[in-house]
Amino acid sequence: MRSIRVGLIGWGTVGCGVIQVLRENEADIRNRLGVPLELRRVADLDIDRPRPVSVPRDLLTNRIDDILNDPDIDIVVELIGGLDAAREVIRRAIDSGKHVVTANKALLAHSGNELFRVAAERGRAIGFEASVAGGIPLIKALREGLAGNRIQTIFGILNGTANYILTRMAEGGLSFEDALGEAQQMGYAEANPALDVEGIDTAHKLAIASALSFGTPIRFDEVYTEGISHIDPDDIQFGEEFGYSLKLLAIARHMDGRIETRVHPTLIPRHHVLASVKGAYNAVHVQGNAVGNIMLYGMGAGMMPTGSAVVGDLIDLARDILGSTPGRVPALAFQPDRLAEIAIKPIADVSTCYYFRFSALDQPGVLSKVSGILGKFHISIAAVIQKGRRKASSVPIVMLTHEALESNVRAALAEIDQLDIVTAPTQIIRIENQETNNFF
């Protein structure tokens, strides 16, 4: 049989990784498939700019149509990013009878349901391993390795930029701004880092992973999302005094007929394995009713790890082409007509433990006023650190709570922040520990 031919659209960092993996591992890939996996064409708007991985001139084009209209190309790899243009590329590739591989988590979070439906109707498949957790094979684990399980919980660190920033704030005592600047110098953060530091990138990935886990359509708009730009080094230090580390976590649970999907800074016990995940690394915990608790760990981004995930999808699709079994594994793990519109639990209905840092005047009766309001809203205090004394100035009062309802917490803090003894809005960070999660 002839080779399986690939057209690559987007010759950027990940595109270079894909080309490098195909070259370095060409013999192994051919031995696994039985036929060559051939890079037929590479398209990019700028084909003259130097890259870390070169491409023969006769393979290059600045016309996407040279790939989409080539009847010999079996699989199109979309690596241009963004929403509208990438969506059009994927739709046209599918309409022209080609399978697709993409690393575009934002596109799938917004339009994945539509694209998967169209692909299935055309008898084509979309590979998207690289869209979540970079080189970590999380998608394959959820779709295939754990197919015999009812997934109960998935949570972890899904953004290397945010994790690097929080690591530097914790270990170097840096402010958020200084840690972000360092991440940008290191190449971990973009010039406009909002998608990473505001939790949006993580929410894209969680929306995809939770759909795969729980058999429901992708619903990015219903993921509660909160970033790390408001985090102060003092909060990291106080958390450490209580025995916690701070991470930006993606959390999804299927409990009592509803799903929690939330992304926010989270304090986790310092002894938990996720607390040791530092720098730009990712890690994901999955709990299945049969397998129990497992964790996947590795580089969540980068040229070669992400290139590895894309090539893994290429090999999977090539095997399906060779076996005439496209769409053998449903895109979202469950058969399309069995996906369920499971209710998403609003953040107001979530119960967890909390960290509060109040800024209050240093005078008698402050603690009793604050604790009285918390008690009024059924919020029980687990631990307190009170710093002082500073006459005529505010001091931090730090509290940890037992499990409480988010709506009660919001109501209590709204009342506390109106007290004349409170000088700034209360800082709030959620906590995951043994009281709220049996992983800890």
437 lies in some domain: no
Task: Convert the pLDDT of each residue in 125-175 to its tens digit.
Answer: 999 999 999 999 999 999 999 999 999 999 999 999 999 999 999 999 999
Q: Note if 98 is an active site residue.
A: no
Query: What pLDDT is stored for residue 389 in this prediction?
Result: 57
* Residues 361 and 370 sit within 8 Å (Cβ to Cβ): no
16 annotated to bind ligand: yes
Give the structural domain span for 170. Answer: 147-300
Query: Looking at the structure, do residues 185 and 308 belong to the same domain, yes or no?
Result: no
239 annotated to bind ligand: no
439 lies in some domain: no
φ, ψ dihedrals at 374, nearest 5°? -60, -45
Q: Interior CA angle at 352 toward 350 and 358, to 5°? A: 110
Total domains in the fold of the chain: 3
15 annotated to bind ligand: yes
Q: Would the pLDDT of 390 be above 80?
A: no
| d(C-alpha 232, C-alpha 265), whole Å | 12
Query: What pLDDT is stored for residue 1 in this prediction?
Result: 60
**Residues 205, 278, 376, 391: which is the catalytic one?**
205
Q: How many CA atoms lie within 13 A of 290 on its CB side?
A: 6
435 pLDDT tier (thresholds 50, 70, 90) = confident
388 annotated to bind ligand: no
* Residues 155 and 292 sit within 8 Å (Cβ to Cβ): no
Query: What pLDDT is stored for residue 394 in this prediction?
Result: 84
Q: What CATH code is carried by the domain that includes residue 377?
A: 3.30.70.260
Query: Looking at the structure, do residues 285 and 310 belong to the same domain, yes or no?
Result: no
Query: Looking at the structure, do residues 293 and 389 belong to the same domain, yes or no?
Result: no
